[in-house]
Structure 1
Amino acid sequence: MTILHGSWVIGAQGEKFYLWGERWRAGAETMTAISENVAPYPYALEFAELRTALESIGPGLGDAITAKPCNLALPTFMMDRQLIPSPPQSLPVKANPQAKIAPQPDVLIPWQLTGGEIDLGVLLAWFQHLPLTATTPGPLKIGDDLRFWSHITRWGFDLLGRGKFVPFHQAGADSELVEILWMPLLDSVTDRQRLEFFATQMPQALRFYFFLNPDQAPNIPIPPIPQVLITRYLQRFINYWVGQMPKLVPEISRTWENKKQGNAPQQWFQALLTPYSRLAKTPESSQWLDTLEQWLAPIAPTVTGQPRWQVYFELVPPPTEADSWSLTFGLQAAEQPAWRISAAQIWQQPADAITHNHQTIHRPQETLLTGLGLAVRVFPDLETSLKTARPLGQALNAAQVYTFLKIGAVRLEESGFGLVMPPGLERNRKTSVPRLGLKITAAIPKENHQGLGLASLLDFRWDISLGNRAMTQAEFDRLVALNSPVVEVDGEWVELRPQDIQAAQAFFATRKATTGLTLQDVLRIATGESVTLEKLPVVGLDADENLKALLDALTGKQTLEPINNPPGFEGELRPYQARGVSWLAFLERWRLGACLADDMGLGKTIMLLAFLLYLQSKKLPYSPTLLVCPTSVLGNWEREIKKFAPGLAAYVHHGSDRPKAKALQKTVKKHDIILTSYALIYRDLESLKPIKWQNIVLDEAQNIKNSETRQSKAVRELNAQFRIALTGTPLENRLTELWSILDFLHPGYLGNKPYFQKRYAIPIERYGDTTSLNALRTYVQPFILRRLKTDQSIIQDLPDKQEMTVFCSLSLEQASLYEGVVKKSLQDIENSSGIERRGHILATLTKLKQICNHPAQYLKEKTLAASRSGKLIRLVEMLQELIDAGDRALLFTQYAEMGKLLQAYLQTQTGRKVFFLSGSTPKPKREAMVDQFQQDPQAPPIFILSLKAGGVGLNLTRANHVFHFDRWWNPAVENQATDRAFRIGQTRNVQVHKFVCAGTLEEKIHAQIERKKALAEQVVGAGEQWLTELDTEHLRDLLLLDRNAIMDSESL
């Protein structure tokens, strides 16, 4: 497994983007060091391997890279008299912009990398499509450093779109030449803040790349500060795209085709479109350059990155209502906005330089006038203040104050000027509060203290509020009479917007709400969303005791009392499971849909059954529950109900003879829970729709992740008081899946799909927008409960090892083959005796086990298809879930040929490499696979082992799941295999999944072993030999197929 790294490198040899690959284990050190004191980095990928890896993730990437050695300084320590470098990730994730060298406990030593320079155009095209948060499938992982530069690249496109770049010139290599280029213009508050944010987020290793000449001593240069590295990259980015403009927009070049060639304007224009071109110094070109310098003068410190003082504007409220406002200005330190010197102070000190807070302001009067002149271009209303030789500010009437707030302040701040506002207006400008709006007092209607729903209307009263104060109509009228867009309330200045005044006047005129207030509205307010009612923003919420308790519980401010072992539950709920049951019960009480998204193996099935028993124990009028699941787990649900909740009358709606229409309604009335599959929901929708269900439960709810499929649309048409989704897939990685599931639970809660894509999915997935991510997480958190096995509050409740039996159904093809073998074999067994009879029995067992695995194994075919085997269907579902969760699994089978088939099939299905170890695996390859599985963080997540070859002598503790695809029927042997993962060195809970085909000899033998588990090793310790001693009648009972366990092809 390889991690792809890279960075923008600046130095005496120029500026390049350097890419290299890091392997998980040291390779052969075959490269030649460019200096005898610079050793090859032992984990670096060879250049040829790097090119191959690049081609696997992006067409053209491999051809766009040119081999070149580079150096990276890394913390290094001594072990056994050998220098050992730490990986790049060992450097602090966050950079310290003030530090020239990061403090490290180890010595920083340069190591030589075998990577190369990559063509900038190809790299930028790849960066555009690189996901910012998702992991890359396959054997190549994208390092955090490259994802960082991908963020910067997207910022670069944003700067291009906003025109935030200016022409610039710098001295060329020859004194008679000047170099023409473009520079990023980071003059706005937003862009300066973004630069500082990225500087603090920069992975520290990016500062320690450097190139060396062969004759150069291997000294580590002082690393560039993050801001410099970022702006230099943005500079190259912008110049690259400006250089592409003639190709992208041919009209630009054609504009000058008929102009006189060789004159100064033509040369200047061509130089601007050919960044980094050199222009000869002539009288004409010098005139152009002088003009450019004059034009850039006001913003030159911003462009060059020098410490600067900028003009600021301060809006000063009047001392009394009768007086005018004033707008004053002065100079402000861009990096320290609190350092200000007013215009009055500047004019009082007519000097070439002023010192303020130990910083020198050169030519302060000229700087002030130049800045004011630029500000007038941005906001012409300031021109009045420049009519005096020494401007100090200007008076503003109410209308001018409003214009400044709405237009001037925005334009000036975006153009890089400072703003100082009265506190109330500053908060109003940045957070939209305080302002004129509605303060709501809400309560749950008495008749709805149970069973509410997001769309339910609440009892409420609303008042007009300004700032933090409720207002009477007389107080409001007095403020309106002032005819001022900004008023003072309780010592704080607040903006009065015309549209808010009109809405408030209409409110006072009618005193009647034309819209209702729903629980969804209140929940939006409680989670920080902006809500508008009656055309006025909601600026405050007071909830009564019951509603406050509901909101506190939904937003996690109040802990729910756990529900432990409800009546009829056969088992013992763990503490976290009891909390899960109480969470379901709480949401059911208010008819608010729930998504239980706990990690695989934490017992979602058990929690649901305990919840249903809890509802049953309340002795309320209770309708049946409809549970929809994949066909592959119908049998498991049926068995789990019998085991943990035998008091629930269950019916499996499945098979070609299943009842429909009124016959189904009669059947439903006799049962507590109806089990069916996703495929049958659509086919039997007309029979299921008329039934009023108490609960609808979707197991493996990711089956409705595509909202346009027939089954996804069908489940939304069913009628239920309470809806539950069960899934073990991390929803945050798949936002459209999250939307689809939440839209099933609460239709419309997240808006329609196009709105959700625009508001959340695109900003988060494409641009890594953490603000949108946090807003979405806060908004959906009340309805999603996800606990991980690694959570400290969970892991202490778990046993070290959990064993689970996974019951699978046979396909029709498997059932037909199975019955054919049983029929013929029983005849052969009955007509034989002694060793011949034992041989027939063992051969029969092998054939039946192969059929239970997959028909292709029995028929000696070369490939697998999931639809032909219930085991394989369920295996793929479970493996995909654990891979998504970042887990690893061992998969045991008795048969080497089945292992090979599984390896090929699973590699295709998962898109990941799968290891397979059998008795024929050479020792070096065996050791290499085990070593990589244990040590490589990006190793294949699935390791298939034949039971004989992998059952002993291996340490595979990186796996936390063990699958027994087929059974040895010897607990000692199976436990020995399981102990490859569950042994000393294992730090996580291990889950063991034993696959059994229902209705076959596998289930019957499994039942016998479970009944005699205490004596299992003595009773059945010889594997399958004990079966050969059974008489024919007992053997017949063991082998005959129960046809109720067959998968109906219609339900696949």
Structure 2
Amino acid sequence: MDKTNTSGEGLQFIFTEKDFYPDAPSPQEESGGNAWRSRFEADRYYALYQMGFEERSENPTATGSFLYLVSDTFLRCLTRLPELELAREKVSVKPMAEDVEALLRALPFAIGAEHVDGKWIAAVFRRLLKIFREEISAYQGTVEMYLTEKSQHLHVPERIFFHLVENKGEEYPFAFLATYATRGADGKVRHVPLKYALTEYKDERDKLLKLLSCLNRAAEVSELIAGFMESGEMFHPLRLTAEEAYEFLKQIEAIEQAGILCRIPNWWKKKAASVALEASLGDEKPAMLGFDTLVSVRPRLVVDGEELTEEDIRRLLEQTEGLALLKGKWVEVDHEKLRELLARLEEMPGEMTLFDAMQLEMGQGKKQLDVGTAVSNGQWLSEFLMHMRKPETIRKAPVPKTFQATLRPYQKNGYTWLNYMDGLGFGACLADDMGLGKTVQVLAYLERLRTERPEARVLLVLPASLLGNWQREAQKFAPKLDFLLLHGHSAGVLEEELVESRAFLTITTYGMTVRVKGLQEINWDCVILDEAQAIKNAGTKQTREIKKLSSRMRIVMTGTPIENELMNLWSLFDFLNKGLLGTAKEFHEYCKNLNQHPEGYMRLKTMVSPFMLRRVKTDKKIISDLPEKLESVDYVALTKKQVVLYRKAVADMERLIGEVKGIKRSGIILTTIMKLKQICNHPDQFLGQSAYTMEESGKLLMLKDICETIYERRERVIVFTQFKEITEYLAAFLEQVFGRKGHVLHGGTPVAKRGKIVEDFQGEKYVPFMVVSVKAGGTGLNLTKANHVIHFDRWWNPAVENQATDRAFRIGQKKDVVVHKLVCQGTIEEKIDAMIESKKELAENVIGSGGEKWITELSNDELMSMLKLEMK
């Protein structure tokens, strides 16, 4: 086997509701090739099946490592069945509860990880079992030979099985039985006591000796088993003393290595019989709350969750070593270990800060409680963390009457959570999926903060493309919320504006936080970062400057908090709750160990979850709250170049229409409207140039921000435009954003090619985008693989736009569709959009039927009011 490309090395995977598939290749991988990718793309379940037989990669991706673990667990479940050789293709394999639990603890942060649960794992097991059954059915040799050909490390277990169970009776509290797997008259495999083998094989001595040969190997590693063999007791049910049972339990590992599997009590399997030192944190509610709050540390010795008294410990020390029955539970008595635990118990601290207590969740930070101490949360701390993780359990915070929006139930929970976190002084990450309304939840929180503390000052930092959106949303939902827009001038001018301002909310961009040093001199009540992935790279100057901002409360908003790169998560938390995830070096070391100890993912999620509220559109509790089509208007600010060209086009028209009438006037107006639409899209479209630089178009900046989030989720988007001439330029731009090609479809696309494009877009291979001209894509297309629709420019006819949107929003669509309509602020686009929204009937009957001709009927004053640029 080629060891250079083992177990899917380098492949990232994406999880879906019932499935998984390999992520699209990076450009580097496409140039170098990957044999495992070819195998997964040809038949992903067969490739997964094969993966478990291979050696584990030394540097797997997190998702690749998890799938390897799934395959490996399946094969371990398969090969622990003593009936395997007899049952062959009729064998049944299901994961045990502890298998599922272990896999879920090892589940990494990944795209679609929210879908992976016990049902998902069971479904994958069924697919893998189907492959095994097909293969072994066609295989001529034994199952042992089949497995040996696949891997040198897998073996069929012996048909003999040892059972140890608890038994009533003081002198003999345990029972032992050896069974073997055999096929009954009905053809079904059964497990029967070993004594029946003497009857079954009485005339087939060779078969009997072959069956019993494994007992000799077990006897070599266990004196107890050797004794049962010599006396002949192995063929009968046996009663065992506690001492004999303890001797057997200590030898389980060696016996199973000899090929005989053992069924034993769960309390031994889970090491619940061992006395352990446990620290219960935060049993009582402290007087104050915050990271510096001191919480109680109550150390105790426990067995299987049961606390031991001094009297219990004294009785255990008086017992001989082995197994002792205490309070109805079997306890392993080890005098030396007990004395060591008692000494450590005496040294335990009586309290620690809440910050240190939470770090213990992940095993990071101060090791005050000593290595090996089990930590549990007391009643108060458990309830406290539960409220943070499940905001629906928090008492609802009233929404101010001045807030002009009705929050959906999950949004109200998010708003309540933000207020709760504020009261605690903990940084909060609102990480709802795109389209779920993060902005409206934060605005509701800000309006409550303003009404309760009007003297407070809040800083909101966001990408430049979102300035218009926030401005509009704030004016719409919180009209009394006063804000300063710190943008659009030189740093010197903005410094002066900041000094003079007493606005409750200051809104600025990431770029300005580096240039306007005065922002770091104010002690803000709250700093909010929208699209907070902008600080995911801890080493950039921008990130360092933002982390210097001083504030009582911190909130980050992001639709993609963490997918594959865990250090991004560290950077977010370094801003939110500094030190909680340790230093960058400590966290990096923690992440490196996840390959060997994937259960660390669960500890990390447990640590992070109180501070991160993440709801996704696929959550059934959220879906019931949502319309199937989430529509939003995204307001875009014009760039300086667009402003100059727009104003000139309007001024030229104003001069010309004063000199003409009738058809000539109408022609000039319609030509100007077309020019303004082109300028709003990109100056190059109007000027007939081909550079299409992103920084010169507000819409391209917005398109990039939206599509980056879509790509993080590996979802697909249709971008509609009414201009055929820019479709190729938009496609070239999107190819840069997604790092891979999409498709273009317009009126000039041949019919035969249209079919191939649609088939490719609807296929399994990830095709991230399609750029479609509205007229070409208005009818006859089924593009349900896309769950995002972006109207790059507006047709101004709701019926036409809806028809285009319905290429994705139609029968066969399994996800909620998010529709973005890009509108340039202060332009004719915004005024027409406002008219459509306020006068639906007019939009359908007048605007819809006559295109833009109705605008030519306006008076010169009305026309100028419609077309002139209004900067705010």
* Aligned counterparts of 1:237 and 1:937: Cα–Cα separation in 2: 31
Task: With the length of structure 2 as denominator, give the TM-score of the two structures.
Answer: 0.74
* 1:1000 is the counterpart of 2:827: yes
Q: 1:366 to 1:608 in 2, by over 3 A?
A: closer
Does the CA-based 8 Å contact 2:389-2:610 persist in structure 1? yes
Alignment correspondent of 1:798: 626
Q: Which amino acid aligns with 1:493?
A: V
Q: Which amino acid aligns with 1:131?
A: Q
State the shift of 1:1006 in Å: 3.3
Alignment correspondent of 2:149: 235
Alignment correspondent of 1:785: 613
Q: Which amino acid aligns with 1:580?
A: G
State the shift of 1:632 in Å: 0.6
Q: 1:331 to 1:401 in 2, by over 3 A?
A: closer
Which shifted more, 188-197 or 1019-1028?
188-197
* Aligned counterparts of 1:437 and 1:340: Cα–Cα separation in 2: 42
Given candidates 675, 687, 700, the residue that maps to 2:518 is: 687
Given candidates 386, 395, 407, the residue that maps to 1:573 is: 407
Does the CA-based 8 Å contact 2:273-2:304 persist in structure 1? no
Given candidates 468, 473, 489, the residue that maps to 1:635 is: 468
* 1:494 is the counterpart of 2:332: yes
Does the CA-based 8 Å contact 1:460-1:517 persist in structure 2? no
Tell me the percent identity: 31
Does the CA-based 8 Å contact 1:593-1:746 persist in structure 2? yes
Equivalent residues, number: 788
Given candidates 542, 567, 574, the residue that maps to 1:711 is: 542
Alignment correspondent of 2:106: none
Alignment correspondent of 1:74: none
State the shift of 1:893 in Å: 1.2
SS at match of 1:443: coil
Does the CA-based 8 Å contact 2:276-2:341 persist in structure 1? no
* 1:654 is the counterpart of 2:487: yes
Can you list the C-alpha shifts for 1:691-725, whole angstroms capped at 9, x where unaligned? Answer: 33333222122223333333333333333333322
Alignment correspondent of 2:66: none
Alignment correspondent of 1:671: 503
State the shift of 1:628 in Å: 1.9
Alignment correspondent of 1:513: 349
Q: Which amino acid aligns with 2:611?
A: F
Alignment correspondent of 2:790: 963
* 1:585 is the counterpart of 2:510: no
Q: 1:788 to 1:127 in 2, by over 3 A?
A: closer
Q: Which amino acid aligns with 1:518?
A: L
State the shift of 1:559 in Å: 2.8
1:303-314 equivalences in 2 (<5 Å): 303=155, 305=156, 307-309=158-160
Does the CA-based 8 Å contact 2:570-2:587 persist in structure 1? yes
* Aligned counterparts of 1:436 and 1:503: Cα–Cα separation in 2: 6
Larger-gyration structure (1/2): 1
* Aligned counterparts of 1:385 and 1:803: Cα–Cα separation in 2: 75
* Aligned counterparts of 1:660 and 1:412: Cα–Cα separation in 2: 80
Can you list the C-alpha shifts for 1:370-427, whole angstroms capped at 9, x where unaligned? Answer: 4433x38xxxxx79989x987999xxxx999999999x76566556565687875543
State the shift of 1:873 in Å: 1.5
Can you list the C-alpha shifts for 1:927-985, whole angstroms capped at 9, x where unaligned? Answer: 4444665x545574433222333334555555443322112334444344445445677
* Aligned counterparts of 1:681 and 1:193: Cα–Cα separation in 2: 60
Alignment correspondent of 1:130: 11
Does the CA-based 8 Å contact 2:491-2:515 persist in structure 1? no
* Aligned counterparts of 1:537 and 1:762: Cα–Cα separation in 2: 18
* Aligned counterparts of 2:142 and 2:499: Cα–Cα separation in 1: 73
Alignment correspondent of 2:118: none
Alignment correspondent of 1:456: 293
Alignment correspondent of 1:297: none
Alignment correspondent of 2:55: 157
Given candidates 608, 621, 630, the residue that maps to 2:442 is: 608
* Aligned counterparts of 1:599 and 1:838: Cα–Cα separation in 2: 46
Does the CA-based 8 Å contact 1:353-1:363 persist in structure 2? no
1:366-405 equivalences in 2 (<5 Å): 367-373=214-220, 375=221
Q: 1:782 to 1:126 in 2, by over 3 A?
A: closer
Does the CA-based 8 Å contact 1:436-1:466 persist in structure 2? no
Can you list the C-alpha shifts for 1:891-929, whole angstroms capped at 9, x where unaligned? Answer: 221211111211222234324443322222223333444
SS at match of 1:493: strand
* Aligned counterparts of 2:11 and 2:468: Cα–Cα separation in 1: 42
Alignment correspondent of 2:369: 534
State the shift of 1:663 in Å: 5.3
State the shift of 1:319 in Å: 8.1
State the shift of 1:682 in Å: 3.4
Does the CA-based 8 Å contact 2:158-2:259 persist in structure 1? no
Alignment correspondent of 1:55: none
* Aligned counterparts of 1:873 and 1:641: Cα–Cα separation in 2: 21
Does the CA-based 8 Å contact 2:321-2:332 persist in structure 1? no
* Aligned counterparts of 1:994 and 1:144: Cα–Cα separation in 2: 38
* Aligned counterparts of 2:365 and 2:315: Cα–Cα separation in 1: 28
* Aligned counterparts of 1:660 and 1:427: Cα–Cα separation in 2: 67
* Aligned counterparts of 1:485 and 1:663: Cα–Cα separation in 2: 78
Alignment correspondent of 1:598: 432
Given candidates 868, 889, 894, the residue that maps to 2:717 is: 889
Does the CA-based 8 Å contact 2:799-2:844 persist in structure 1? yes
Q: 1:680 to 1:312 in 2, by over 3 A?
A: same
Q: Which amino acid aligns with 1:654?
A: H
* Aligned counterparts of 1:337 and 1:745: Cα–Cα separation in 2: 59
Does the CA-based 8 Å contact 1:951-1:980 persist in structure 2? yes
Can you list the C-alpha shifts for 1:487-531, whole angstroms capped at 9, x where unaligned? Answer: 6543521354857734532543x6x72761526636966x99999
* Aligned counterparts of 1:896 and 1:704: Cα–Cα separation in 2: 37
Given candidates 664, 679, 698, the residue that maps to 1:851 is: 679
SS at match of 2:743: strand
1:340-419 equivalences in 2 (<5 Å): 361-362=208-209, 367-373=214-220, 375=221, 416=259
State the shift of 1:888 in Å: 4.0
Q: 1:901 to 1:362 in 2, by over 3 A?
A: same
* Aligned counterparts of 1:604 and 1:639: Cα–Cα separation in 2: 15
SS at match of 2:796: coil
Q: Which amino acid aligns with 1:128?
A: E
Does the CA-based 8 Å contact 2:827-2:867 persist in structure 1? yes
* Aligned counterparts of 1:1012 and 1:870: Cα–Cα separation in 2: 27
Does the CA-based 8 Å contact 2:163-2:264 persist in structure 1? no
Q: 1:135 to 1:645 in 2, by over 3 A?
A: farther
Q: Which amino acid aligns with 1:445?
A: P
Alignment correspondent of 2:667: 839
Of Structure 1 and Structure 2, which has the larger fraction of its residues in helix?
2
Q: Which amino acid aligns with 1:435?
A: A
Q: Which amino acid aligns with 1:535?
A: D
State the shift of 1:637 in Å: 0.5
* Aligned counterparts of 1:816 and 1:313: Cα–Cα separation in 2: 86
* Aligned counterparts of 2:160 and 2:528: Cα–Cα separation in 1: 63
* Aligned counterparts of 2:414 and 2:375: Cα–Cα separation in 1: 32
Alignment correspondent of 1:815: 643
Alignment correspondent of 1:445: 286
* 1:722 is the counterpart of 2:553: yes
CA RMSD of aligned residues (A): 5.3
Could you tell me which runs of 5 or more consecutive residues in structure 1 were left unpaired when the two chains were aligned: 1-119, 162-184, 211-220, 240-301, 377-381, 1045-1052
* Aligned counterparts of 2:649 and 2:137: Cα–Cα separation in 1: 77
Q: Which amino acid aligns with 1:793?
A: K
Q: 1:818 to 1:524 in 2, by over 3 A?
A: same
